[in-house]
Amino acid sequence: MRKEIITYLSLPPTGTQPAPKLISFLEEGENIIEGALLTQEQYWYPIIQGVPSFLRGSLKPDYTWFQEKHGLPPIHDEVEPENAGEQRLTNETFSDKWRRFRNYGLEPSHQEFLGDWYCKKLGLSTVDELKAFYQQREYILEVGPGSGFNTKLMAENTTGQVFAVDISDGAFASFENTKHLPNCYVVQADLMEMPFADDFFDFIIADGVLHHTPDTKKALLAIYQKLKPGGQMFFYVYKKMGAARQFCDRYIRDSFKQLDPESAYQACEGLTELGRELSRLNAQITLEKPIPILGIPAGTHNVQRLMYYNFVKCFWNEAFDYETNNMVNFDWYHPHNAWQHTEDEVKGWLEELGVREYSFNPANPNGISVLLTKPS
């Protein structure tokens, strides 16, 4: 954690001023690796493995060892965030995932795929356009960065300051992957209680994050509050799919989410193999008639894609190794919360927020990619 972050923080629940007192126990280069942020009310937030943590109530790990180790005051009357139990289950999935896949998106074989993926999502044509998109932003926030591959790309391509907020151990992976960048700050927090002032950021991105909270719409409202008037925001949420896919998803998720992560990875292996074998067939079929009841259009379909989009998640991408492909299937079927939405539903949310300028970018049929501008 870089010391300068203190000037940008507005702490929950009250946004107390003056800024908390920064106590440093261990430093490495420009970063505080272990320390604490102590408020005037004697409430403290730990800095562990380079990351300040703002989790509260039962979302917060037991830090008694940290308190005793550093002689910090005891904390009473901890506030319990709404639906913390649900969110905690989702965190367990992602903390486990990011401990196993700390370098997801950073390996050279991932870069091309992910570069194209972001271009499509943001409605841009080339990676150079993508880099130019970030260049002039002053304050950028990534919500749910996971391994931090995109936070890193943004920080490397802007003259501004880049912040990343993840509720899970993804925060530690993101810090490790960006700690060398002088304009990058990672914190661990629930997006419903981010330690930043409202109307602060001029670009916010939440890619595949909001639908993993207890309530996607409330999550959108919470991050939108942090966007400056005239600022832009991108979010990607899962789209409600056809009946057969919905049925399979519900059935599989209800079973897999009860498994511990290791067993769930193993349980996903058959799906991953199915994806790989169908993908390697490279076969196509042409349907002259659509199947409206299942949401399948007429036309020529790659067989693996047809299966994947309409029946069961069986992801496979040759750019990834077997474990990473299997993780993508795990990422779909293990999180406790993974809501799906319709475009009309999302349009309704935007209307409620008073957003008039927005685009739905056609990045993939499983999701809704939205780029919006907050009215000035």
Ligand X SMILES: C[S@@+](CC[C@H](N)C(=O)[O-])C[C@H]1O[C@@H](n2cnc3c(N)ncnc32)[C@H](O)[C@@H]1O
User: What are the residues binding ligand X (CB under 6 A)?
Assistant: 87, 90, 94, 143-146, 165-168, 170, 190-191, 207-209, 212-213, 331
| 33 versus 205: smaller Cβ distance to ligand X | 205
Residue number of the CB closest to ligand X reads: 144
Q: How far is the CB of 56 from ligand X (least distance, A)?
A: 12
Q: How far is the CB of 301 from ligand X (least distance, A)?
A: 26
| 190 versus 301: smaller Cβ distance to ligand X | 190
3-state secondary structure string across 232-254: EEEEEEEECCCHHHHHHHHHHHH
| 166 versus 202: smaller Cβ distance to ligand X | 166
| 161 versus 369: smaller Cβ distance to ligand X | 369
Q: How far is the CB of 9 from ligand X (least distance, A)?
A: 16
| 172 versus 309: smaller Cβ distance to ligand X | 172
* Cis peptide upstream of residue 61 (ω within 30 degrees of 0): no
Q: What is the C-alpha separation between 158 and 142, in angstroms, rounded?
A: 14
Q: How far is the CB of 112 from ligand X (least distance, A)?
A: 16
Contacts of 367-370 with C-beta under 8 Å, sequence gap 24+, read 367/208, 367/236, 367/237, 367/238, 367/239, 368/236, 368/237, 368/238, 368/239, 368/341, 368/343, 369/120, 369/121, 369/122, 369/234, 369/235, 369/236, 370/234, 370/235, 370/236, 370/237, 370/346
Nearest-10 crossing angle of helices 149-156, 108-122: 80
| 184 versus 191: smaller Cβ distance to ligand X | 191
Tokens, residue 90: 């989702």
| 58 versus 64: smaller Cβ distance to ligand X | 58
* 359 close to 123: Cβ distance less than 8 angstroms: yes
Q: How far is the CB of 153 from ligand X (least distance, A)?
A: 12
Q: How far is the CB of 107 from ligand X (least distance, A)?
A: 13
Phi-psi sector, 146: left (phi>0), alpha (psi -120 to 50), beta: left
Question: For residue 317, what are the contacts with CB-CB under 8 A and spacing of at least 6?
Answer: 113, 325, 328
Q: How far is the CB of 223 from ligand X (least distance, A)?
A: 9
Tokens, residue 100: 């196993």
